[in-house]
Copies of this chain bind each other. A is one copy, B any other.
Amino acid sequence: MKLSLGEIAEKLELELRGDAATEITGLANLLDAGPGELAFLFNPVYIKQLDRCHAEAIVLREAHAHACDLPVLISSQPRLTWARLARLFDPAPLPGGQVHPTAIISEAATYGNNVTIGAHAVIEPGVRLDAGVAVGPGCFVGERTTIGENSQLAANVSIYHDVIIGNNAIIHSGAVIGADGFGFEFDADVSQLVKIPQIYSVVIGNDVEIGAGTTIDRGALNDTRVGDGTKLDNQVQVGHGTTIGANTAISGCTAIAGSTKIGAYCMIGGAVGIVDNIEIVDGVEITAMSLVSQSIKQKGRYSSGTGLMPGLAWKRSIVGFARLDEILKRLRNIERHFRK
């Protein structure tokens, strides 16, 4: 892929300060960029890196252009410019619009125009794949599941029966949608856990991305739901009957239990735990590895846990933590002396 700075400026409607004929062959970060590569100044914190930058040109805000001797493209939103430019330089193979002869497609499945189905994929009866859908090699799509226009499943994705997926989904390898929620009842007569069949399903909105190895369970008494525009990173777990609002981003390895409601426009850090049967309002931010054990009723930023410490100091702190109730009592005792 090659584009001249002039072509890029035109396509993305950016002001160019430099030679329009200069050829760009790729994108890179400020430190690693070399000849032919375009780099980005997202954050003025890194402005000093411009001095030793070997990029062919830089995308930056007008206010920082003065600090740069290289050719520049002026963008009021360099990160959005990046997102658009990266599409032009993306080597990812595009779906070819073919159905591989080794795919096993039920005669009772239907699919629209320009659908791609990879080798060894399995499409069960009653499935509906809308126009432009791509199902990767080795995927399984269970009975009566529907997948909306232009949605893409990478290789080895598993989708159970009766799942509904909207348009423009991107679902990465190893993701599992619609497995049974974790529902059991202890039967005291036989001292065993009895399985509660998970008879509802999963409903995914439009424009959702689901990361590699992420699992979204089907519901027991209502559908598990993921709202439009929401993005789930890798190895996220979404419990049965949980609802996630629109345009929320959930980072990797976050575990969400069942029957919980998460709002729209939330930002949930990695490896967060969220317990069952709570509600989190819109616009909440949770920092990495926090445990949300109660409903959150006000938007804002929340955290739990402790800071990282050298091992020995930490051991002393956890001793103190276990004695916090005692510490409060001793404080009160002392304070009593002063009140007299």
Q: Interface on A for B, CB 8 Å cutoff?
A: 26-29, 32, 39-40, 77, 79-80, 82-83, 86-87, 89-93, 100, 102, 104, 118-120, 122, 124, 136-138, 140, 142-144, 154-156, 158, 160-162, 170, 172-174, 176, 179-180, 182, 184-185, 187, 191-199, 207, 209, 211-213, 215, 217, 220-222, 229, 231, 233-235, 237, 239, 241, 247, 249, 251-253, 255, 257, 265, 270-271, 273, 275, 285-294, 296, 300-311, 313-325, 327-328, 330-331, 334-335, 337-338
A90 contacts B213, C-beta separation under 8 Å = no
Instruction: Give chain B residues whose Cβ lies under 8 Å from the Cβ of A334.
Output: 331, 334-335, 338
Pick the 9 closest A-B CB pairs, nearest first.
Answer: A320-B324, A140-B155, A158-B173, A316-B325, A253-B255, A176-B212, A301-B311, A86-B197, A179-B212
CA distance A209 to B192 in the complex (A): 13
Work out how many copies of this chain go into the complex.
Answer: 3
B179 contacts A221, C-beta separation under 8 Å = no
Which residue in chain B gives the minimum CB-CB distance to A176? B212
A252 contacts B234, C-beta separation under 8 Å = no
* A120-B122 contact given A83-B197, A174-B158, CB 8 Å threshold: yes
A79 contacts B185, C-beta separation under 8 Å = yes
Which residue in chain B gives the minimum CB-CB distance to A296? B308
CA distance A45 to B330 in the complex (A): 39
Which residue in chain B gives the minimum CB-CB distance to A31? B222
Q: Contact check: which of B252, B301, B313 meets A325 at CB < 8 Å?
A: B313
A288 contacts B291, C-beta separation under 8 Å = yes
Nearest-Cβ distance from residue A131 to partner chain B, whole angstroms: 21
Nearest-Cβ distance from residue A171 to partner chain B, whole angstroms: 10
CA distance A234 to B328 in the complex (A): 40
CA distance A77 to B185 in the complex (A): 10
CA distance A304 to B271 in the complex (A): 14
